[in-house]
Amino acid sequence: MIKKGFTVEYKNDDEGWLAYSAIEGNAQPAGPYIHTRIAQSTDRGATWRFVKTVNTSYDDTIEIVNQGAQKGVWRYEVAALVYDPTDSGREWKLFFHRYFWTEKTDRLPAYGWIGYRTASDPAGTWSDEVALFGAGQFPPAPLKTQINLNNLHADLKNAVAYSEPGVIAINSVIYLSLTSIAKDGHDRIFLLRSDDHAKTWSYVATLLSKKEAEAFGFRYFDGSSLAQEGAGFFLLASPMKEDPQHEGTMIFEFENIQRGMLKRDNGNLVVRKYILPDEKVATNRGAGQSDYDARNSVGGMIMPQFNSKSYPEVFGIYSTKVSLAK
Q: Domain spans of the chain?
A: 2-208+294-319
Instruction: Give the rounded percent of residues in the chain with a pLDDT score beyond 70.
Output: 91
The mean pLDDT value for 231-240 works out to 95
pLDDT band at 102 (very low <50, low <70, confident <90, very high): very high
pLDDT tens digit sequence for 164-194: 999 999 999 999 999 999 998 899 999 999 9
User: CB atoms < 10 A from the CB of 17, how many?
Assistant: 22
What sign for the dihedral angle of Cα 247, 3, 48, 179?
A: positive
Predicted confidence at residue 158, as pLDDT, reads 94
Query: What pLDDT, in 10s, does the model give residues 207-235?
Result: 999 999 999 999 999 999 999 999 999 99
Q: What is the rounded distance in angstroms from the CA atom of residue 55 to the CA atom of residue 76?
A: 7
Residue 6 pLDDT more than 60? yes
Mean pLDDT of 123-129: 98
Write the pLDDT tens digit of every residue in 43-58. Answer: 999 999 999 999 999 9
> Residue 260: what pLDDT?
98
Cα 47 from Cα 151, distance rounded (Å): 43
Beta bridge partners of 93: 82, 118
Query: SS in 3 state form for the chain?
Result: CEEEEEEEEEEECCEEEEEEEEEECCCCCCCCEEEEEEEEECCCCCCCEEEEEEECCEEEEEEECCCEEEEEEEEEEEEEEEECCCCCCCCEEEEEEEEEEECCCEEEEEEEEEEEEEECCCCCCCCCCEEEEEECCECCCCCCCCEEHHHCCHHHCCCCEEEEEEEEEECCEEEEEEEEEECCEEEEEEEEEECCCCCCCEEEEEEEEHHHHHHCCCCEEEEEEEEEECCEEEEEEEEEEECCEEECEEEEEEEEHHHCEECEECCEECCCEEECCCCCCCCCCEECCCECCCCCCCCCCEEEEECHHHCCCCEEEEECCCCCCC
Which residues lie across from 202 on neighbouring strands? 193
Q: Residue 112 — very low, low, confident or very high, per pLDDT cuts 50/70/90?
A: very high
pLDDT tens across 16-39, in order?
A: 999 999 998 877 667 799 999 999
- Render pLDDT for 304-325 as a digit per residue (tens, 0 to 9): 877 666 666 667 788 888 999 8
Q: How many CA atoms lie within 13 A of 59 on its CB side?
A: 3
Average pLDDT in the 246-255 region? 93
**Inter-residue contact 177 to 189 (CB < 8 Å):** yes
Strands 106-119, 130-134: pairing kind: antiparallel
Share of residues in the chain with pLDDT > 90 (%)? 75
Mean pLDDT over the full length of the chain: 91
2-208+294-319 classified as CATH 2.115.10: yes
Q: What is the pLDDT of residue 286?
A: 64
pLDDT-derived band of residue 2, with 50, 70 and 90 as boundaries?
A: very low
4-20 average pLDDT score: 85
CA dist., res. 111 & res. 224, Å (int):
22
Question: 121 pairs with which residues across the strands?
Answer: none
Question: What is the pairing mode between strands 185-194 and 202-209?
Answer: antiparallel
CB 96 within 8 A of CB 36: yes
Q: Give me the sign of the Cα torsion angle 111, 183, 29, 117.
A: negative
Least confident interval from 150-159, 227-236, 283-292, 295-304: 283-292
Q: How far apart are alpha carbons 233 and 191 in whole angstroms?
A: 13
